[in-house]
Amino acid sequence: MEYVAKSLAHNPEAVQVTESEQDGVLVIQLTVAPEDKGRIIGKQGRVAQAIRLMLRVAAVKQGTRATLQII
């Protein structure tokens, strides 16, 4: 996910991924520069939906649940 976000961002140095766990669900926070937030979310949220889908597939393979927050 970090690789995808850095590929899309104009400022890849500002991309940070942090993980935490809340109520048995892995919460991944993707922090990007304010000017890159639109590029990560995409038109009508399509890019964000695709990233979330990749995250869900990886989580299912590991037998857990995961959510993505874009900050």
Q: What is the mean pLDDT of each run of 10 residues along the chain (71 residues)?
A: 94 96 95 96 96 95 95 92
pLDDT of residue 63: 94
pLDDT of residue 7: 96
Q: Which residues of 44-71 are buried (b: 16+ CB within 10 A; e: fewer)?
A: eeebbeebbeebeeebeeeeeebebebe
Architecture of 2-70 per CATH? 2-Layer Sandwich (3.30)
Count Cα neighbours of 17 within 13 Å in the Cβ-side half-sphere. 14
pLDDT of residue 10: 96
Instruction: Strand 16-22: give its sheet, edge to edge.
Output: 16-22, 25-31, 66-70
Angle formed at CA 28 by CA 43 and CA 3, multiple of 5 degrees: 65
- For the whole prediction, is pTM greater than 0.85? yes
